[in-house]
């Protein structure tokens, strides 16, 4: 039985906007976005109508992975500002009736975090056991090929183990060698994380997006994996649920539903997500799953294939059905790790505006909490990268170092830097992002694709997002309605309905550059049109058109 609407969690009717601070707005001309820059754009976000800001990491960090390598959990990286700037930003967010969610990166720290500095200092340091230290593989001298304690490959290429010459042991890093994994088996580690989380909540933040949080429990036997894939031994490890429930008890339980949590979980299944997001189990509010953003991957993410719309429907439909009676979905196309959706699943050429609106409509009408990534509301596109020297992202740079220029087409389509080029505020030379030299080049299409133009144009992608957000806030069916997938085998049109009490919403979306005449067996075009991407009527959907009907 579902809760009555009035007592339902606030984040079910919320829309979240992700800010990647480095690329959002630069207030001091150093070419890197900062907190004062974010503060200066709060009215823009309020106008869009979003409820929550998720701030990617702004903590002190050597920036090996753009802030996902944290060296102090209780401060602000000077390039982004100060704690005072942060407090002012938070007050500005709350003053506009919005909430702010921080990024929590606690699967690993930076190797420059004092915890790790201590841990590596000697084998008998009290913090030695805060990280995963292991001797070389038996019978193989330290440093020799194959001496690593397991054969696992890191997410950023190369082994997941780094030899520390001083003590002759290896430490585990699932990501870069500057991101050593914390040992959550140690209760002191967990207590230190909980204390830090309470510190931020006491400061006023409203929750956390939890980075790769399904990697915190590992198989302590650390077995090898097939072909170097160790994921079976560090994804959803034996103590994951226990650790999350403990965290909930220690950090969130006495805050009476005021907070929101979303756990980033590569490889999570619907079955796992039901357990993880069941409110009765008190673990996390929702998870980021990855299945729908892997449908166009070949053997690796760099081998991009086309998207078969039927696969997208099958995947998202399975998640809708799986979390229909328990738990809750997050909904996203984009974030700082994904290429731009309009370039990926839409048409970023002739139909950029239409396909951006269509993709937004489909996502926002699903059941769950939608996440918008900065610039998505403008229909921002991938960057026209032409050479390896243009990439800054550690994952892209390492991939190129291994695969050479043959990797360029894959990088151009899939590199995380596609998401990270500066936010396009206006048509001026640096798109209004900075008065200095931007840390990553601005997309040349900013002369056309920018916020100033979008605000001025009533038909823009921005105003379509605004209408979708407003619809969610005014129409309970968008939040609570049951989801039914229609036409699952149609390769061109995405169609579904949402029903709640005596209201039914029907959503139709053309995923092609050709006209489509979907056959639902009844004259759907006679219903009341609530929202559309075109000013169109009748039985024919124009290229990339989306419509929402009420019946
Ligand atoms: C997931 C984050 O979204 C990504 O940007 C980062 O590189 C890894 N986790 C490691 O923290």
pLDDT digits 0-9 by tens, 116-159: 999 999 999 999 999 999 999 999 999 999 999 999 999 999 99
Q: What residues contact 225, with CB distance under 8 A and at least 6 apart?
A: 150, 151, 152, 231, 232, 233
Q: From 167, 100, 94, 98, select the one nearest 134 (Cα to Cα).
A: 167
Angle of CA points 373, 375, 379, to nearest 5°: 110
Q: Which of 77, 148, 169, 211 is catalytic?
A: 211
Residue nearest to atom 2 of ligand 1 (CA): 211
Residue nearest to atom 8 of ligand 1 (CA): 68
Phi, psi at residue 508, to the nearest 5°? Answer: -130, 135
Q: How far is the CA of 337 from the centre of ligand 1 (A)?
A: 7
Contacts of 410 (CB under 8 A, 6+ apart): 301, 302, 303, 304, 399
Q: If you measure from the C-alpha of residue 348 to the centroid of ligand 1, how many angstroms do you get, rounded to a whole number? A: 26
| Structure token pair of residue 442 | 């601005």
Which atom of ligand 1 is least distant from the CA of 394? Answer: 7
- The whole-angstrom separation of Cα 165 and Cα 171 is 11
Pick out the chain residues at pLDDT < 50: 1-3
Which residue among 57, 102, 337 has the greatest number of ligand 1 atoms within 8 angstroms of its CB, and so is best to mutate?
A: 337
Instruction: Determine the Cα–Cα distance for residues 266 and 47; give it in Å rounded to an integer.
Output: 33
* Ligand 1 atom at minimum distance from 264 CA: 1
Atom of ligand 1 lying closest to residue 175 CA: 10
For 165, residues 6+ apart whose C-beta sits below 8 A from its C-beta are none
535: left (phi over 0), alpha (psi -120 to 50) or beta: beta
Distance of CA 44 to the CA centre of its chain: 21
Active site residue 405: no
> How far is ligand 1, taken at its centre, from the CA of residue 336, in Å?
9
What burial letters (b/e) apply to 63-99, b meaning 16+ CB within 10 Å?
A: bbbbbbbbbebeebbebbbeeebbeebbebbeeeebb
User: What is the distance between the alpha carbons of residues 217 and 236, in angstroms, rounded to a whole number?
Assistant: 7
Tell me which of 26, 39, 169, 264 is the catalytic residue: 264
Closest ligand 1 atom, residue 105 Cα: 11
Is 489 buried (19+), middle (13-18) or exposed (0-12) by CB count in 10 A? Answer: exposed
Helix H or strand E segment including 364: helix 352-364
Long-range contacts formed by 269-277: CB under 8 A, 24+ apart: 270/318, 270/319, 270/322, 270/323, 271/322, 272/214, 272/236, 273/319, 273/322, 273/323, 273/327, 274/322, 274/323, 274/326, 274/327, 275/241, 276/241, 276/244, 276/327, 277/323, 277/326, 277/327, 277/328
Distance (angstroms) between ligand 1 centre and the Cα of 264 equals 9
Pocket of ligand 1 (CB under 6 A): 65, 68, 105, 175, 211-212, 264, 336-337
Q: Do the Cβ atoms of 176 and 253 come closer than 8 Å?
A: no
- Residue 36 tokens, joined: 């004062």
Q: What is the pTM of this model?
A: 0.98
Question: Alpha-carbon distance 273 to 284, whole Å?
Answer: 9
Nearest CA to ligand 1 atom 5: 337
- Element of type H or E holding 318: helix 309-322
CA distance 167 to 135: 9
pLDDT of residue 256: 83
426 is catalytic: no
DSSP state of 516: B
Which pLDDT value is given to residue 535?
87
Distance 68 CA to ligand 1 centre (A): 6
Residue closest by Cα to atom 6 of ligand 1 = 68
Ligand 1 midpoint to CA 397 (Å):
15
* Residue 14: partners with Cβ closer than 8 Å, 6 or more residues away: 51, 52, 99, 260, 369
> In the structure encoding, which two tokens stand for residue 156, read together?
């950023």
Residue 401's CB: how many other CB atoms inside 10 A?
12
Contacts of 7 (CB under 8 A, 6+ apart): none
pLDDT of residue 6: 52
Q: In what order do the strands lie in the sheet with 493-500?
A: 482-486, 493-500, 503-510, 546-550, 528-532
């Amino acid at each position: 039985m579902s809760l009555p609407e009035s007592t339902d969690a606030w984040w079910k009717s919320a829309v979240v906007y992700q800010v990647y601070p480095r690329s959002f707005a630069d207030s001091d001309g150093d070419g890197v976005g900062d907190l004062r820059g974010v503060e200066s754009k709060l009215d823009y976000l309020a106008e869009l109508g979003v409820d929550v800001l998720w701030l990617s990491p702004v903590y002190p960090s050597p920036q090996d992975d753009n802030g996902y390598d944290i060296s102090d959990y209780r401060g602000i990286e000077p390039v982004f500002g100060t704690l005072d700037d942060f407090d002012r930003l938070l007050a500005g967010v709350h003053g506009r009736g919005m909430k702010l969610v921080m990024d929590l990166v606690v699967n690993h720290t930076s190797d420059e975090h004092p915890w790790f500095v201590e841990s590596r200092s000697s084998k008998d340091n009290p913090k030695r056991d805060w990280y995963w230290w292991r001797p070389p593989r038996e019978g193989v001298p330290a440093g020799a090929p194959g001496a690593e304690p397991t054969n696992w490959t890191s997410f950023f290429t190369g082994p997941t183990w780094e030899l520390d010459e001083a003590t002759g042991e290896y430490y585990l890093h699932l990501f870069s060698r500057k991101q050593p994994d914390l040992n959550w088996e140690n209760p002191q580690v967990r207590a230190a994380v909980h204390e830090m989380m309470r510190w931020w909540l006491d400061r006023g933040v409203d929750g956390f997006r939890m980075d790769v949080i399904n990697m915190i429990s590992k198989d302590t036997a650390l077995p090898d994996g097939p072909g170097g894939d160790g994921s079976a031994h560090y994804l959803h490890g034996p103590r994951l649920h226990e650790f999350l429930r403990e965290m909930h008890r220690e950090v969130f339980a006495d805050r009476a539903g005021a907070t929101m949590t979303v756990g980033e979980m590569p490889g999570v299944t619907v079955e796992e997500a039901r357990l993880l997001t069941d409110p009765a189990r008190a673990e996390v509010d929702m998870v980021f799953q990855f299945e729908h953003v892997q449908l166009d991957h070949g053997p690796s993410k760099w081998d991009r294939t086309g998207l078969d719309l039927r696969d997208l429907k099958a995947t998202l439909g399975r998640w809708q059905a799986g979390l229909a009676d328990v738990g809750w979905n997050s909904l996203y196309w984009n974030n700082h790790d994904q290429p731009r959706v309009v370039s990926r699943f839409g048409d970023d050429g002739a139909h950029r505006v239409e396909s951006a609106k269509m993709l937004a409509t489909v996502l926002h009408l699903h059941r769950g909490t939608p996440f918008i990534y900065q610039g998505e509301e403008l229909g921002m596109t991938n960057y026209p990268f032409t050479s390896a020297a243009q990439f800054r992202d550690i994952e892209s740079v390492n991939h190129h170092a291994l695969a050479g220029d043959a990797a360029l087409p894959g990088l151009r389509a899939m590199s995380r830097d596609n998401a990270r080029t500066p936010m396009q505020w206006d048509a001026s030379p640096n798109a209004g992002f900075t008065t200095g030299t931007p840390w990553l080049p601005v997309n040349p299409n900013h002369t056309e694709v920018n916020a100033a133009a979008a605000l001025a144009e009533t038909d823009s992608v921005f105003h379509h997002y605004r209408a979708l957000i407003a619809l969610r806030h005014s129409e309970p069916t968008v939040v609570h309605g049951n989801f039914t997938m229609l036409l699952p085998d149609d390769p061109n049109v995405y169609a579904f309905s949402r029903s709640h009490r005596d209201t039914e919403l029907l959503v139709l979306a053309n995923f092609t550059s050709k006209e489509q005449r979907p056959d639902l067996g009844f004259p759907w075009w006679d219903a009341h049109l609530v929202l559309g991407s075109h000013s169109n009527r009748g039985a024919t959907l124009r290229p990339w058109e989306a419509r929402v009907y009420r019946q």
